[in-house]
Amino acid sequence: MNNSGSRTTENNPHPELPCFQELLDGTDWASLATPYGTGESLPAALTRLLDLDPAVRAAAAKDALDGVTHQNSIYEATVPVALYVAAILNHPATAAGEHAHKADLRQLRHPTRETLLDWLGNTAYDADDETVAIGERHFDEGFLDACPDIRAFRDLRPVIYTAVQPFLTDDNTKVRDAALVTAIPLIEHHALTSHRNELADHAHRLLSTSTDRHKRDRTLDALNAWGYDISTLENVHDITARELRTRMEDHDSWWASNATGGYAEDPPF
């Protein structure tokens, strides 16, 4: 990759997000590994993310984003794609979504921006502190040395956050909620932890309006991890979901420690 994806100046020590066209033109995509080979087809797919036709954008999102992630893993090509996605978040084309036939269906549309934010958030969770902690237990504290692409993504969390932050107050509810859930794992970076209170305010808003199970769980987990009292924010569905997750985690933990292939005794019998 010819372009490091971020740049600093003497007067501004913080990384800046380059123009999306710079990223597209300055990256040696064909040299970057993906789950399915190399990234030589990525420039065309990434360019189509800004097409005027929403159907083309939707297909491009599948080609470009699914093409650099697989089974919660981050690859060489994932990092520059993440930077490109962050760089186009404010492009007017990403604000548009599926065609709506009635003006009152505006909030029911799915802006491309929402899709891009959701992907960035899922990728950030694949590189979050919990993922690293689990990896360290298996790699004898050498996980990030063995996974340089995860390290590279984690290092770029501040610059990605600067692209996500403006959408925390977007006019579109779906975009606002997606931005919040995306921002949560990004601010684990030591330079961003001061944003917790800001995100907590947005979290209260999401929890008062959203019924999305995934987004509510992510938000409640974050508030709890940050030391906020969530007892007044949970509804009956949240409590049921949390208790179910706890039972499943306990079962998985027991199975990992005690399972013998589904038999009551260790084979041979």
Tens digits of residue pLDDT in 149-189: 999 999 999 999 999 999 999 999 999 999 999 999 999 99
Query: In terms of pLDDT, which residue wins out, 63 or 9?
Result: 63
Looking at residue 106, what is its pLDDT? 45
- Res 263: pLDDT: 38
Q: What is the pLDDT of residue 13?
A: 38
In a domain, 252, yes or no: no
Answer yes or no: is 234 within a domain: no
- Asked if omega into 268 is within 30° of 0 (cis), the reply is yes
Residue 128 lies in a domain: yes
Q: State the pLDDT at residue 241.
A: 87
Task: Give CA–CA dist 196/201, Å, rounded.
Answer: 9
Confidence of residue 15 (pLDDT cuts 50, 70, 90): low
Range of the domain at 119: 20-100+107-193
Q: pLDDT at position 10, please?
A: 35
Name the pTM for this structure. 0.84
pLDDT score for 6:
53
* Tokens 């298996």 belong to residue: 138
Mean pLDDT (whole number) for 23-28: 96
And the tokens for 62? 């599948």
Given this model, what pLDDT does residue 109 score?
A: 62
Token readout for 178 is 């997606």
Window from 7-11, 47-51, 126-130 with minimum mean pLDDT: 7-11
145 within domain boundaries: yes
Q: Which residue has the tokens 């997750």?
A: 245
188-194 contacts, C-beta under 8 A, 24 or more apart: 188/128, 188/129, 188/157, 189/154, 189/157, 189/158, 189/161, 191/158, 192/157, 192/158, 192/161
Would you say residue 60 has pLDDT above 60? yes
Cβ neighbors of 28 (< 8 A, separation 6 or more) are 1, 2
B/e letters for 15-42, b = 16+ CB within 10 Å, e = fewer, are bebbebeebbeebebeebebeeeebebb
Number of structural domains (the chain) is 1
Residue 139: pLDDT band (50, 70, 90) is confident
Is it the case that residue 101 has pLDDT exceeding 60? no
Structural domain includes residue 159: yes
Tell me if 168 is assigned to some domain: yes
Say if 9 falls within a structural domain: no
Report angle CA 35, 38, 42 to the nearest 5 degrees.
Answer: 95
Instruction: For residue 31, tell me if it sits in a domain.
Output: yes
